[in-house]
Structures are given as C-alpha cells and as structure tokens.
C-alpha cells in the first residue's frame, strides 16, 4: 500500500474510502435484489474492483468524460450519479437514470458526463476515441477515460481505436481493468501476450501496469497521466490489475476459478487495505469508519426504497425515444 | 437553378452546410487529401482544413464509432464509408450503437450523424463490391435511410440529413454520380420522409428509389405506347417511409409493382408489398409484384451480371404481364 500522507487533503482521502464503500455496498445490495427478483437481465458486479473506478475518477475534472462497458455501476457511482437513480434503473423504473430503457448494462448520465455503458465487448472504445476527437476539435482542456476489460483487447475495435487515438494524438486515457478473466476464459488462454499493457506498446502509446487493488496507486498514476494528457501528450494506457470477487454475471455459475486464487486476491481487498492504511496513518479512527459505513448503509437502503416506490415507465413511451425529434 | 451532376450537388450541399455550421466535420477513408474516392468531397480539405476534413485509416468500425462519440459530445460528423459493402465492417457501431444510444439511454443524448456511402452494381466489380444493402439498415429501428435519385434530391436530402438529429445512412448510387439535372442554388431542403411523385398516372403504381427511378421512367415511356399511364413514386427515403403517398396512389390505380436493385428476399420491395397488402387489399386488382435482383452473389461476367439485375425490359414485361397485354413491337 502506498504511503498516503501529504498526498491529498484528509477530506479527499476519506472521500475515496466512502466512494469505494458505496460501490461495494451498492453491489452487494444489487446481488440481493437480483436474487429477490427485483433486478433482471444480465447484472455484472464490480465487487473487488472498486479502487479502479474511484481512484481514476477522483483524478478527473467534473467536465471530463468517461466511457464504460457493461460492468458499469461502479463507474457511474464514482462519476457522481445518484445511487437512487442507478438502483431505480436496475429495477427498470421510470425514475432510473435512463427511465428504465437501459438497465444494468446501459447506464448513462449526461449531466455527469458519464457517457454510457456498452454491452458489446470493445464497443465503447471507438466512441471514447470520437469523444477525444471532439475535445481536440473544440480545443478543450479535457480528457476522456475509456474503461474496458481484459477481454476487449482481443477485439478489432480495440486495435482500430488505439491506432487512431495515437495517430491523431487524442486526449484519451485507456484503462484496462484486467481481472484476469473474460467471462470464464483466463487471460493466458485468450491473449498471445500475457502482459496486457504491452498491447498498447505496438501503437507507441505510453503504457504501464499497476496494482488496481490500491486506490492510492491508481489515483497517483492517473493524476500524473491525466496531467500529461492535458498538456497535449496524446493517449495513454494503464493496465490496472484487479479481481472480481463475484462471477462474471449473476447468471454465471463461476466454476473456472480455484478457491485458493480467490483467497489470495481477497487478502488484498482494496477497501480493507485502505481502511487499515487510513487508521495507521491517523487519518481516521474505527469509530469514524463505522459511522461512514452506517451512513452508506442508509443511503443504499434509501436507494432501494426509492426504486421500489417508483413507477414503471408508461407503455405510452414505448416508441418515444426511437428517434430524436 | 443551375445544372449540376449528382456528385457536384452533393459536394455543394456539404459546402453549404459546413459554411452554415462550424460543428459539422467530415471523416473517412480518402476524403481529404485524395478528395474522395468518388470525388464527392473534392476541394473540401483545401477549403476547411484538416480539423474539419479528416482522412482516416482503413478502419470502418472506428470511423463510425468515432463519429458517434463526436456526435455525443457536440459535433455533427459526416462519416464517409467508401462503399456500402464496407459498412458491414462497421455494423456493430451502426446497429448496436448508433441506432440504440438515443433509445437505451432514455433520450438523454442525440446522435446527429450522417453516414454517406455509395452502392451500385453493373460495373463488373464482382460479388463483394456490387451489393445493395439498404434492407439491412431499413430493418433496424433507430436509423434513418435515405437514397436520392436525382441531383436536386441529392442536395436537398443531404442537407436535411445533416440537420437531422438522428443517425442517417445516406446511400448514394455510384452509377448516378455523373448524371446531371437542374439543382436549386439557394438553401434547398428536401424534408426526410416525403416521397416524390415523379410521374402521375392512373393505371398502375410503380414504386422505387435511387437509380431504378430512371429505369422506371423509361419503362413508363414505353408503356405509353400500350396506352398504359403509370404513376411513379420515388420514395427518396426508406426511413421514414412515406406510406401515405404509396397507399393513396395504390388506392387510385389498384395495381402496384415495386422495383429495387437489391436481392428480392427480405428486400425493401418485400416490406412495401406487405404494407400495401395489409392496407389496400380491397383496392387491389392483382397481387403486388416485386421486381428485384436475382438472389445470387453478383457474378463478374457481364452477361451474367446483367441477367441478375432488373432493367427497363423487366419492368415493361412485368407490367404487361400483370395487365395481361400481349407484348408487341411497340417496345
């Protein structure tokens, strides 16, 4: 765990903890709600990977863009979307972020510049590159962060996207969340190059691999990388090594990983480690941590209540959004 | 009015729109330095510079995806895909992304995107470069499909497509690029979804679009020798489809044929035939007829290629057959 003293203001350090706990508890609640039948469809949980979304997004401006894939709840919450509206979307309710038209895999929050969850592997990458093109076109001081998994690096869209981003020197940060499995297939069974960060090297994109279980390491790396991008140094690539504690989706029986492997990763839990670090360095005590946990439990319970009490979208809206008027 | 080719009419529309709105930009293969594979973007790179007219690598999925991202963040991109055959490489971005984003995100974001792409057969380009694929896109809700048949429509429809807030697949016919016609020089707009009755008549309705309109007009001229007065509807747009004009005409004539150069099975003609049957059945004096390409990959050989495509003669013969009129030397 990186030393955290003198890195950020105390309040910011605590905020990182809060956001990670929010995502963890939100996802645990989703799991319950899915098993209860309140959430349907494919639901991909972010548990174990929280440090990536939180560390990365905390280094951005509000006006910066992020693009996600189908494991997108954590990214939306990290970017500031309301937990109630995200939960309501998973419930398919009219008060959801996308009024119930999107669901778990298709969150979107225009106001927060959360530019969408896309459920075709690699599909968000060309879109993020296009947003980068737009930023340069308008000569803005912004970046677009594109999150995707280790599975996406074997898609054509990934290679077309990285090539164009570098060719046009676009302000895009590619964040590969390497959780070592594309659904049930491990990286070493899917990629000829085992170290994923090397994939970006063939496009001359500065690239490195970091510990994605350490929110401070993520934050530090993204901070310095995003500064370089804002200064016009073009796209960068960061492989963030992590682990999803749960199966690929709620529908996945998860029979391809060993309990030993899971234990090794869980011992590096991003939230527990960070909490210990905050306590050791005297930034927070156990009482304050428990208050935060309590506060977030309340927020999640409120989100569920909000979702449960919200109406279904009107059938009159079935055709409403097919075309923009 | 001024006489322009279909190509120059498109070029003029692009220029007028780019002058009007600085958020409009063009990207695609060979659009800038090379000035367009079919020279539709001629002069634009010199006039507007590399920020607004961008050459891309041969990466169709990326071209459309980047255009979507740009459209979501404030630009109005026009992506050129060199031929419609290559749109299949971008199908994921067109169908899974462009056509879905406004809907699945609950109307939060618009995709004002035009994908310009030519199609056409009859030039011995073989199976992979001669396809008419409009039905693939026509099938998908969320994307407009436009197919102009004349220089004036090319200009007016392209300007509408650029101003539309939806993804639009704008299909140009590569065999029409050199055809000439009168084009209004002012800010001429043809709204999407309004068909053009290019010839009025009472005996039979011929529905078509794009290059086939010319064949239909020539066929109608021949049919006049048999005292058959055909009404010809140029759809201009397949989505939105002007069903009102189709139904009005068919109710008047009682007979309908649809002509398209795409494969017959699952074609636009098939869908229009169904629509007519569902909505005008009691007015019909004969079954609706589809005149389309044969269901074969395009052969290279000139004779075989010609045999696979509908032409003026097929249209004339089909109409005479429908009306049970014997063909004479009048044709």
| pLDDT at residue B328, as a whole number | 84
Nearest partner of B116 among B154, B172, B193, judged by Cα: B172
φ/ψ of residue B28, rounded to 5 = 160, 180
Cβ-based contacts of B67 with chain A (< 8 Å): 130
Domain contains A40: yes
8 Å CB contact between A238 and A147: no
Cα B7 from Cα A134, distance rounded (Å): 28
Q: Which residues of B189-217 are buried (b: 16+ CB within 10 A; e: fewer)?
A: ebebbebbebbebebbbbbbbbbbbbbbb
| pLDDT at residue A5, as a whole number | 62
Q: Which residues pair with B291 in a beta bridge?
A: B259
Determine the 3-state secondary structure of B121 from DSSP: coil
Q: Do A126 and B106 touch (CB under 8 A)?
A: no
Q: Residue B210: which region, alpha, beta or left (left: phi > 0; alpha: psi -120 to 50)?
A: left
Cα B141 from Cα B121, distance rounded (Å): 26
What pLDDT, in 10s, does the model give residues A191-237?
999 899 999 999 999 999 999 999 999 999 999 999 999 999 999 99
Q: What is the dihedral of CA B16, B17, B19, B25, to 10 degrees?
A: -130
| pLDDT at residue B330, as a whole number | 57
| pLDDT at residue B329, as a whole number | 64
| pLDDT at residue A325, as a whole number | 87
Cα A241 from Cα A180, distance rounded (Å): 8
Calculate what percentage of chain B has a pLDDT beyond 70: 99
Helices marked H in B120-211 — which ranges? 134-138, 151-163
Q: Residue B54's closest chain A neighbor by CA?
A: A168
What pLDDT, in 10s, does the model give residues B259-304?
999 999 999 999 999 999 999 999 999 999 999 999 999 999 999 9
Size of interface A-B (CB pairs under 8 A): 141
Domain contains A104: yes
Q: Which residues of A214-242 are buried (b: 16+ CB within 10 A; e: fewer)?
A: bbbbbbbbbbebbeebeeeebbbbbbbbb
Q: Is the peptide bond before B240 cis (omega within 30 degrees of 0)?
A: yes
Which CATH number covers residue A294? 3.40.50.970
List the domains of chain B with CATH numbers.
2-183 (3.40.50.970), 196-322 (3.40.50.920)
DSSP character string of B271-318: HHHHHHHHHHGGG-SS--EEEEE-SSPPPSSHHHHHHHS--HHHHHHH
| pLDDT at residue B1, as a whole number | 86
Q: Catalytic residue numbers of B?
A: 60, 129
Q: How far is A282 from chain B (nearest CA, A)?
A: 43
Query: What are the Cα distances from residue A91, in Å, to A77, A80, A222?
Result: 16, 19, 33
Q: Do A98 and B105 touch (CB under 8 A)?
A: yes
Longest alpha-carbon distance in chain A: 57
| pLDDT at residue A312, as a whole number | 98
**Cα-Cα end-to-end distance for chain B:** 34
8 Å CB contact between B264 and B295: yes
**Is the CB of residue A102 less than 8 Å away from at least one CB of chain B?**
yes
Cα B204 from Cα A153, distance rounded (Å): 56
Domain contains A218: yes
Cα A249 from Cα A66, distance rounded (Å): 22
Task: Enumerate residues 6+ apart whose C-beta is below 8 A from A303.
Answer: A26, A29, A83, A84, A86, A87, A88
DSSP code at position A32: H
Domain contains A149: yes
Domain contains A258: yes
Q: How far is B106 from chain A (nearest CA, A)?
A: 4
Least CB–CB distance from A120: residue in B57, B77, B92: B92
Number of domains in chain A: 1
pLDDT along chain B (331 residues), means of 10: 96 98 98 97 98 98 98 98 98 98 98 98 95 98 98 98 98 98 95 98 98 98 97 98 98 98 98 98 98 98 97 96 84 52
Q: Which domain holds residue A35?
A: 10-307
Q: Do B70 and A120 touch (CB under 8 A)?
A: no
Cα A246 from Cα B240, distance rounded (Å): 45
Q: Do A160 and B107 touch (CB under 8 A)?
A: no
Domain contains A267: yes
Q: Residue B99's closest chain A neighbor by CA?
A: A322
| pLDDT at residue B196, as a whole number | 98
Cα B6 from Cα B4, distance rounded (Å): 7
Domain contains A325: no
| pLDDT at residue B21, as a whole number | 98
Domain contains A1: no
φ/ψ of residue B2, rounded to 5 = -150, 150
| pLDDT at residue A250, as a whole number | 87
Is the pLDDT confidence value at A7 over 90?
A: no
């Amino acid at each position: 765990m990186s030393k955290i003293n003198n890195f950020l203001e105390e309040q910011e350090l605590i905020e990182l903890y809060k956001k990670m706990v929010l995502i963890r508890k939100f996802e645990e609640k989703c799991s319950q709600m899915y098993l209860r039948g309140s959430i349907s469809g494919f639901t991909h949980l972010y548990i174990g990977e929280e440090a990536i979304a939180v560390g990365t997004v905390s280094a951005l401006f509000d006006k910066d863009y992020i693009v996600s894939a189908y494991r997108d709840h954590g990214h939306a919450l990290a970017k500031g979307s309301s937990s109630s509206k995200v939960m309501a979307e998973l419930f398919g309710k009219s008060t959801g972020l996308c009024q119930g038209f999107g669901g778990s895999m298709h969150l979107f929050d225009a106001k927060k510049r959360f530019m969408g969850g896309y459920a075709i592997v690699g599909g968000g990458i060309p879109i993020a590159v296009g947003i980068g093109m737009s930023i340069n076109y308008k000569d803005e001081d912004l970046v677009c962060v594109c999150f995707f998994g280790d599975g996406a690096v074997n898609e054509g869209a990934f290679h077309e996207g990285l090539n164009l981003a570098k060719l046009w020197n676009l302000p895009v940060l590619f964040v590969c969340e390497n959780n070592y499995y594309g659904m049930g297939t491990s990286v070493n069974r899917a990629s000829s190059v085992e170290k994923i960060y090397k994939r970006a090297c063939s496009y001359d994109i500065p690239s490195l691999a970091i510990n994605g279980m350490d929110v401070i390491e993520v934050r530090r790396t993204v901070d310095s990388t995003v500064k370089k991008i804002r200064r016009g140094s073009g796209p960068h690539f960061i492989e963030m090594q992590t682990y999803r504690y749960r199966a690929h989706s709620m529908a996945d029986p998860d029979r391809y990983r060993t309990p030993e492997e899971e234990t090794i990763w869980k011992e590096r839990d991003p939230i527990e480690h960070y909490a210990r670090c905050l306590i050791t360095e005297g930034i927070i005590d156990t009482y304050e941590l428990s208050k935060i946990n309590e506060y977030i439990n309340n927020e999640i319970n409120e989100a569920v209540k909000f979702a449960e009490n919200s109406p279904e979208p009107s059938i009159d809206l079935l055709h409403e959004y097919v075309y923009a008027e | 009015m001024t006489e322009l080719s279909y190509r120059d009419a498109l070029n003029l529309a692009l220029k007028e729109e780019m002058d009007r709105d600085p958020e409009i930009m063009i990207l695609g293969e060979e659009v800038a330095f090379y000035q367009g594979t079919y020279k539709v973007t001629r002069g634009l790179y010199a006039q507007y510079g590399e920020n607004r007219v961008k050459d891309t690598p041969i990466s169709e999925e990326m071209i459309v995806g980047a255009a979507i991202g740009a459209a979501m963040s404030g630009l109005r991109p026009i992506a050129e895909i060199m031929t419609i055959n290559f749109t299949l490489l971008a199908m994921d971005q067109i169908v899974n992304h462009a056509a879905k984003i406004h809907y699945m995100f609950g109307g939060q974001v618009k995709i004002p995107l035009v994908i310009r792409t030519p199609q056409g057969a009859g030039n011995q380009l073989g199976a992979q470069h001669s396809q008419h694929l409009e039905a693939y896109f026509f099938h998908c809700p969320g994307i407009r499909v436009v197919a102009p048949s004349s220089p004036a429509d090319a200009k007016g429809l392209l300007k509408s497509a650029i101003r539309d807030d939806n993804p639009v697949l704008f299909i140009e016919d590569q065999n029409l690029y050199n055809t000439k016609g009168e084009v209004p020089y002012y800010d001429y707009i043809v709204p999407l979804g309004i068909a053009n009755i290019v010839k009025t008549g009472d005996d039979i309705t011929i529905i078509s679009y794009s290059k086939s309109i010319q064949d239909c007009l020539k066929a109608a001229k021949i049919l006049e020798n048999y005292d058959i007065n055909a009404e010809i509807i140029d759809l201009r747009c397949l989505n939105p489809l002007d069903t009102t004009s189709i139904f009005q005409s068919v109710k008047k004539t009682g007979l309908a044929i649809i002509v398209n150069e795409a494969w017959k099975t699952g074609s636009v003609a098939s869908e229009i035939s169904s629509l007519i049957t569902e909505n005008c059945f009691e007015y019909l004096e004969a079954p609706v007829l589809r005149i389309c390409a044969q269901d074969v990959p395009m052969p290279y050989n000139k004779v075989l290629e010609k045999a696979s495509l509908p032409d003026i003669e097929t249209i004339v013969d089909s109409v005479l057959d429908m009306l049970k009129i014997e063909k004479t030397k009048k044709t």
